[in-house]
Amino acid sequence: MNATILWNAYQGLVIKQVRRFLRSWIQNLLPSVVTATLFMVIFGQFVGRDLGQVGGASYADYLMPGLVLFAVVTNAYNNTTLSFFGARLQRHIEEMLVAPMPAWLIVAGFATAAVLRGLMAGALVLLIALPMTSLQLAHPGAALLVAVLSALLFSFAGLINGIFARSFDDTSVIATFLLTPLIYLGGVFYPIDRLPAPWDTASLANPMVYIVDGFRYSLLDEGTTGGGWMLLVLPVVTVSTGILAWWLVARGVRIKP
Amino acid sequence: MTDTAIDLQGLHKTYKGGQPALAGVDLSVPRGAFHGLLGPNGAGKSTLIGLMTGLVRLETGSVRLFGHDPERDPVAARRRVGLVPQEVNFNSFEPINEIIETQAMYYGLPRRRARERARVVLERVGLQKRAERKPWGLSGGMKRRLMLARALVHEPELLILDEPTAGLDVEARRDTWALLQELNMAGTTILMSSHYLEEMRDLCQNVAVLKEGRLIANDIPERLFGADAGSGTGDQGLEARFLRLLEGGEPKGEDQP
């Protein structure tokens, strides 16, 4: 009985959130595709031809996994940040708080929709970019696992941002000044072992390096850090971030006076 | 099965940096009652409603809805409750029927049933012709009706309304009264806060009066205002009698005369 009620509530929240981002798909999904296409055409095709092999692959092949992952994580992050902040701002978060929805279910509903948006954006980028590469998708199952875990991690992080944001400016600060630099410096465009010391070592502290590299490995069968670290660290960090998001919602931080 | 719909014991609430909003309120509302909640601005009415419905963090005291603690057993407690809040709190970017359907699913209704119920309640409040539209163009009265429809969609046993008729014209107010009386006749327990003394007198079987976070009276309207109280503004009018009650009101419990 309870399980059915909770399942219906979860479905309601996921449907609402998916409708929300599909209603404005031009604003929500298209920018990632346009950006990735431009990167693939300009860097992968025009500039990449002169670069030869990078990380054991053509530059277009090397570039594409990072661009797909970039689309996945930024979409997942932005989805929860904006939708949760919007729900607080317009106070329709109260629709959930008065209903028999435990905090974990609210977090799960927001995160599920964000993962779906991330995967949709990633799939679109993959579809557009794939014809420009010679990729064979070496380990599709592993690629999907990394994409889902990454999207989940960033959806939780985005939700935490949405909880603490006091204005629309606050919803973009973390994405602009932390997330984007971490991704750009996380080996999307170059192998970190090509960096001069101490930057190559410093890059190892960037968690995005392992996620991007793990995803690249799952698509190209080529990587520099090995997938082991990523498979160990990513689930642990994802679960920890999810627990923090749940705790904040359960405590009613910035939600309940 | 308990005969008590609402059982509040020793509720205290102080907002950060403020005066106590509630200072030890006990209140019991039997099943099937139409109970009023009266008090000047800042008396603690909305805080009391927020504590019952999970919108405000409980500090000390206990809330039981139909014998269940809404924090520990949200499905058993909250599923039976519908809330019409004082402030508009729906998503203005979502079509009206989707607002209602989603809320029904939050309360555990399966999607098809949620859709049916949305149609029924929108028709009941006269918003069926606008069901596909977004609520931007709704008047203040229509927004209140939308929130009433949303609160009724899962057929709650207890309906809590925070100033539901504020800002409504005479006709809309009378429609709302008729609907509430009809629901109460059908067995729904109603707790309603309002500043309109006439609706307290005419609709409620019992009225609880709050002042500065304390319950100063809880009695039938005839004893609170006097059986002969008229609607005018003179000395024998409702307003004058209510003001005298507030000025001279010694805190008294439910069992006190």
Q: What are phi and psi of B36, to 5 degrees?
A: -100, 155
Tens digit of each residue's pLDDT (9 = 90 or more) over A215-253: 888 888 766 655 666 777 889 989 999 999 999 999 999
Nearest-Cα distance to chain A for B3, in Å, is 21
Contact of A139 with chain B, judged by CB distance below 8 Å, is answered with: no
Task: List the one residue out of A156, A138, A124, A166 whose CA is nearest residue A222.
Answer: A138
Contacts of B226 (CB under 8 A, 6+ apart): B236, B241
Tell me the C-alpha to C-alpha distance, in Å, between residue A122 and each of A39, A76, B13. 14, 10, 47
| Largest separation between any pair of C-alpha atoms in chain B | 56
In this complex, do A100 and B83 lie within 8 Å of one another by their Cβ atoms? no
Give the Å distances, CA to CA, from A55 to A9, A46, A134, A139, A187.
Answer: 47, 18, 15, 17, 11
pLDDT at position B48, please?
A: 96
Cross-chain Cβ contact A99/B90 below 8 Å:
no
| Phi, psi of A131, rounded to the nearest 5 degrees | -65, -15
Tens-digit pLDDT profile for residues B90-113: 999 999 999 999 999 999 999 999
Tokens 């009941």 — which residue?
B124
Determine the pLDDT at residue B164. 92
Measured CA to CA in angstroms, residue A29 lies from A19, A33, A111, A118, A120 at distances of: 13, 7, 17, 9, 8
Residues B3 and B31: beta-carbon distance below 8 Å? yes
Q: Residue B155 and residue A171: Cα distance in Å, rounded?
A: 37
Picking from B56, B74, B110, the nearest residue to A256 by CB comes out as B56
- B181-229: per-residue pLDDT in tens? 999 999 999 999 999 888 898 899 999 999 999 999 999 988 888 776 6
Do B159 and B13 contact (CB within 8 A), yes or no? no
pLDDT at A84: 97
**Angle A103-129/A140-164 helices, nearest 10 degrees?**
130
Region of poorest pLDDT, from A194-203, B39-48, B73-82, B177-186? A194-203
How large is the ipTM? 0.89
Nearest to B56 among A5, A86, A257 (CB): A257
B108 vs A97: CB contact, 8 Å cut-off? no
Q: Which residues of B, range 129-168, sit inside 8 Å of A by Cβ?
A: 150
| HSE-CB for B60 with a 13 A CA cutoff | 8
Q: What is the mean pLDDT of residues B140-153?
A: 94
Domain boundaries, chain A: 2-251
How far, in Å, CA of A107 to CA of A99, rounded?
14
- Return the SS3 of B236: coil
Q: Mark which residues 75-94 of A lie under 8 Å from B by CB.
A: 86-87, 90-92, 94
Averaged pLDDT, A82-110: 96
Mean pLDDT score across all residues of chain A: 89
- Mean pLDDT within B145-169: 94
pLDDT of residue B255 exceeding 70, the answer is no
Query: With bands split at pLDDT 50, 70 and 90, how would you rate the model's confidence at B257?
Result: very low
φ and ψ of B113, to 5 deg: -65, -40
Can you say whether the dihedral through the CA atoms of A58, A60, A61, A67 is positive or negative? positive
CB A215 within 8 A of CB A150: yes
Name which of B78, B90, B98 is nearest A99 (Cβ-Cβ). B78
Residue B192 C-alpha, separation from nearest chain A C-alpha, in angstroms: 16
Q: What local confidence, expressed as pLDDT, does residue B105 receive?
A: 98
The answer to whether A132 and A86 have CB atoms below 8 angstroms apart is no
Nearest-CB residue to B107 (from A15, A16, A100) = A100
Cβ proximity of B54 and B160 under 8 Å = no
Going from N- to C-terminal start, the domains of chain B cover: 1-80+156-165+182-257, 85-155
Contacts of A11 in chain B (CB under 8 A): 105, 111
Tell me the average pLDDT across A64-71.
91
Q: What is the pLDDT of residues B49-79, one digit of tens each?
A: 999 999 999 989 999 999 999 988 988 999 9
- Answer whether A5 sits within 8 Å of B102, measured CB to CB: no
Q: Give me the CATH topology for the region B1-80+156-165+182-257.
A: Rossmann fold (3.40.50)
Which among A9, A94, A252 has the least Cβ separation from residue B105?
A9
pLDDT, position A136 = 77
- When mean pLDDT is compared over A51-55, A100-104, A194-198, A202-206, the highest value belongs to A100-104
When pLDDT is cut at 50, 70 and 90, the band that residue B235 belongs to is low
- The whole-angstrom distance between B132's CA and the closest CA on chain A is 14
DSSP string, A38-54: HHIIIIIIIIGGGT-EE
Instruction: Find chain B residues with C-beta within 8 A of A20's C-beta.
Output: 93-94
**In this predicted structure, which of A47-51, B26-30, B40-44, B117-121 has the lowest mean pLDDT?**
A47-51
User: CB A92 to CB B87 under 8 A?
Assistant: no
Contacts of A100 in chain B (CB under 8 A): 74-75, 77-79, 106-108
